[in-house]
Structures are given as structure tokens and as C-alpha cells.
């Protein structure tokens, strides 16, 4: 029974690692999209999951915040 719990814990840990990798890839793709939109007249800052774009020409700031989905662990019981 203990071996099954250890294996289940490891699988859950691996799933969370994969979710984090997917999230990082997603954020990088958004950053690339913003980079393409931002030309020489714009500067961009990234703080975790918040992107701040400053347009020097129009003197405006645009902030894009990505809300992280809460991760829930589904537990299954064996009889």
C-alpha cells in the first residue's frame, strides 16, 4: 500500500512539473507576441506573470496580467 502512495505522489509531482513547463512556454509565447508588437518606440518589462509595455510616443502604459489557474489535486480512493 505504501509503494502505491509513493508512486502516486511521484506521478502528481511530475504532473505539476509538466504544468509549470506548459505555463512557462505559454508566458514565453505571449512575451514573443508582445515583443513583435513593441517596436523601437516601446519598452517592455516582465515581472513574473505581469507584462508592462510603455509606449514612448503616446506616453501610455499598458499592463497585461495573466491569472494563474488554481491547480487542484484529484484524489482517488481504493477499496
pLDDT in tens, 33-63: 766 665 544 555 555 556 666 666 666 666 6
Residue 48's region, left for phi above 0, alpha for psi from -120 to 50, else beta, is left
Q: What is the pLDDT of residues 10-27, one digit of tens each?
A: 777 887 777 777 777 777
In-domain check, residue 75? no
Rg (alpha carbons) of the chain, rounded to whole number: 20
Is 7 inside any structural domain? yes
Looking from the CA of 56 toward its CB, the CA atoms found within 13 Å total 7
Strand runs (DSSP E) across 1-79, as ranges? 42-47, 50-55, 60-65
Has residue 11 been placed in a domain? yes
- Domain annotation covers residue 26: yes
Q: What is the pTM of this model?
A: 0.32
| 61 located within any domain | yes
Please count the structural domains in the chain: 1
Q: Is residue 40 part of a domain?
A: yes
Does residue 79 have a pLDDT over 60?
Answer: no
With respect to residue 78, please indicate whether it lies within any of the assigned structural domains: no
Q: Specify the higher pLDDT residue, 7 or 75.
A: 7
Q: Residue 44's beta-bridge partner residues? A: 53
Give the domain extent around 55. Answer: 2-65
pLDDT over threshold 60, residue 30:
yes
Residue 77 lies in a domain: no
Q: Find all residues with CB under 8 Å of 59, minimum gap 6, and list them.
A: none
Predicted local confidence at residue 56, as pLDDT: 60
Q: Dig out the grid coordinates for 60 from the structure.
A: 501610455
Residue 44 per-residue DSSP state: E
Amino acid at each position: 500500500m505504501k509503494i502505491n502512495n509513493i508512486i502516486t505522489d511521484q506521478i502528481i509531482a511530475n504532473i505539476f512539473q509538466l504544468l509549470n513547463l506548459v505555463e512557462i512556454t505559454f508566458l514565453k509565447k505571449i512575451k514573443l507576441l508582445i515583443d513583435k508588437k513593441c517596436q523601437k518606440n516601446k519598452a517592455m518589462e516582465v515581472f513574473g506573470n505581469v507584462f508592462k509595455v510603455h509606449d514612448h510616443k503616446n506616453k501610455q502604459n499598458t499592463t497585461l496580467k495573466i491569472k494563474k489557474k488554481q491547480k487542484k489535486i484529484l484524489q482517488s480512493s481504493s477499496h
